[in-house]
Chains A and B, each alone.
Chain A
Amino acid sequence: MSDAAVPAGELSRGLWREAGRRLSRNRLAVSAGIVIALITLLAVAGPALSPYAYDSIDWQNLAVPPLSAASHWLGTDRLGRDLFVRTLAGVRISLLISLLATAISLVIGVLWGAIAGYAGGRTDALMMRFVDVLYSLPYLFIVIILTTVFSRGSLPMLYVAIGAVGWLTIARMVRAQTLALKRREFIEAARATGLTPTAILIRHVIPNLIGPVAVYATLTIPQMILYEGFLSFLGLGVQEPLASLGSLINDGAQEMQSAPWMLLIPAAFLIVLLLCFTLVGDALRDALDPRER
């Protein structure tokens, strides 16, 4: 951060330390964070522990329940694919897509909101009206329409489609913050020293937005996991033989009567992930909310 931004920087550092202290006192949120870390670790390292690949077929063990066949710890699906590996691969894809989609919405949202807020006037009105129109349409419609545009099942399409509609709230929030920042002395000072608007935006406005944006990002990740799961569940997302939690739950729901574990295992992972992210996000918001003090 540059010299001119130091006052705000110092202030936010104090705020962050205070927030961190309160966050660490929230035992539920801390354990939720640990669970997320463990699941992530398991998703990254876990598949290597099993002799099977996520798409390899074991003809001797079709649809076996958990803990009954050697080395298929969580059983297999109808095609004899190992569910432990598939579920973890699904967690990995779900996390990857949601992180990338969150990153995409952050980039678009922060730039859009900061430019609109800083430019003001007619540019601002036009840009925010565009956001309003998109906002009034249900999110999932846009995603479904976008999925018809791109070829089905390509992963980049998925996170672009999900991320491209996730930036609206961020843009609104960033714009409001930028409007408040714009009137501060250090921005005025930067302008007085002759910096161009672009330089002011990049060096002074955006760094000061990081705090609230980071909090919002934490709350966005579970949303993105949900949207990815929703699309994959409907068959519009990740395609065979790849798996995401959503497509695994869909597969499991088809076999519910004869092989309930195929539904219960991915559902349990998704439920735990979502609850943990929600708990951490809520705790983070509470920790940073000055009204709670």
Chain B
Amino acid sequence: MLRYGLRRIAGILPTLLVIITASFFIIRLAPGGPFQQEQTLPPAVRVNLDRAYGLDQPLPLQYLRYLRGLAHGDFGPSFKLRDFTVAELIAQGLPVSAALGLSAMLLSIFVGVPLGAAAALRRHRPADHTVTGFTVVAMALPAFVVGPLLALIFGVYLHWLPVAGWESPFPRYLVLPAVTLALPVIAYIARLTRASLLEVLRANFVRTARARGLGPWRVLWRHALAPTLLPVVSYLGPAIAFVVTGSLVVETVFGLPGTGRFLVQGAINRDYSLVMGMVIVYGTLLLGLNLLVDLLYGWLDPRVRHE
């Protein structure tokens, strides 16, 4: 298990290098640049700017320089947000994004699983139909529709929660974004749990447990829960990817100062180093979290053997 984990961690590095290299060259080969959208600069200023940021050198050289910087934890300066380095921007945005992502994931699991389990235990009754209907709607609607609508209802009309922004007390500002981000994941997890629990309840070992005279809650908690959760755990990888990309929209909708907004702004402004930095941060996060999910799966299901 430990060796497997180490090998997987070692496997992340080449993947990350491929991602970095591919995005570096794709972004650089594109026409236009960070200094081209402003009013035409005097040529001398352009030359000096290009030299200051190393843009006058041949591309492979720039690439090597960038990699050397990365090895020292240096993501370079931001081209557009002049007073900041990319590393500073990441350090600024990451806690907000992490808080958003984490609360969305927790919400998804701790609402989705009970919801699905309730639907399975009340199969073909109104509660089941309500949950199924909710999952259809929640999975079909995107965050950029749900977010503004929730803000309109709970912020503008009911005044329960702030419409947007990020001030202390922070948790108040996190509720709507986290719910918006979590809704489709809650729905998907509820569906998975419902289907999986229905199947597990038909299994022989559950019948045996019942035959031994165990109460329904004990059967559910001690015997049915772990196998029910296996498909949910294997969905966590895609769920994390969904939450990470979804946070781009949600941060824009609710004006949260997280890393997602930097990626979008960087793409709009052609801020090369900012986009690169964000791609690296998100790539590392996704690869690392997926590895974590795989290890968790192996721990939950003893039948999975890591060779």
Contact = CB atoms under 8 A, between A and B. Distances in A.
B and A form one assembly? yes
Interface of A: 133, 136-141, 144-152, 222, 226, 229-230, 233-236, 246, 249-250, 252-253, 256-257, 260, 263-264, 267, 270-271, 274-275, 278-279
Nearest to B290: A136
Contacts of B268: 152, 235-236
Nearest to A254: B148
Contact of A145 (B23, B144, B286): B23
Interface in B227-252: 241, 244-245, 248-249, 252
B145 A256 contact: no
B30 A270 contact: no
Interface string B153-182: 000100000010000000000000000000
Given A140-B245, A275-B137, A263 B142 contact: no
B31 interface: yes
B32 to A, nearest CB: 7
B287 to A, nearest CB: 8
B209 interface: no
Given A145-B275, A145-B279, A256-B163, A226 B142 contact: yes
A187 to B, nearest CB: 35
Nearest to B242: A138
Given A140-B245, A234-B264, A274-B142, 17 more contacts: A136-B15, A139-B245, A141-B279, A144-B264, A145-B275, A149-B27, A149-B29, A229-B142, A253-B151, A256-B151, A256-B163, A257-B163, A264-B149, A264-B152, A274-B141, A278-B136, A279-B136
A14 B298 CA distance: 45
Contact of B32 (A137, A151, A235): A151
Nearest to A144: B267
Nearest to B268: A235
Nearest to A152: B268
27 contacts: A133-B18, A138-B282, A140-B248, A141-B282, A145-B275, A146-B26, A149-B30, A150-B30, A152-B268, A230-B249, A235-B264, A236-B268, A250-B144, A253-B147, A253-B148, A253-B253, A256-B151, A256-B156, A256-B163, A257-B156, A257-B163, A260-B152, A263-B148, A267-B149, A270-B145, A275-B141, A278-B140
A138 B244 contact: yes
Contacts of A234: 248-249, 252, 264
B264 A149 contact: no
B109 interface: no
A279 B23 CA distance: 37
Nearest to B238: A138
Given A233-B249, A257-B163, A275-B137, A144 B263 contact: yes
B148 A145 contact: no
B31 to A, nearest CB: 7
Contacts of A222: 140
A236 B156 contact: no
Contact of A141 (B18, B31, B163, B245): B245
A267 B145 contact: yes
B191 interface: no
A236 B264 contact: yes
Contacts of B32: 151
Nearest to A133: B18
B94 interface: no
Contacts of B267: 144-145, 147-148, 236
B156 A149 contact: no
Interface residues of B, number: 42
A159 B282 CA distance: 25
Nearest to A282: B136
A229 B244 CA distance: 18
B194 interface: no
Contacts of B286: 138
A236 B266 CA distance: 11
A271 B152 contact: no
A133 B23 CA distance: 14
B23 to A, nearest CB: 6
Nearest to A147: B267
Contact of A267 (B148, B241, B244): B148
Contacts of A152: 268
Contacts of A137: 19, 283
B30 A138 contact: no
B144 A246 contact: yes
Contacts of A148: 27, 30, 267, 270, 275
Contacts of A226: 142
A139 B27 CA distance: 17
Contacts of B148: 249, 252-253, 256, 263, 267
A141 B23 CA distance: 10
A65 to B, nearest CB: 15
Contacts of B283: 137
Nearest to B244: A138
What are the 7 tightest A-B residue pairs by CB atom distance, in nearest-first order?
A: A253-B148, A149-B30, A233-B144, A140-B245, A278-B140, A138-B245, A274-B140
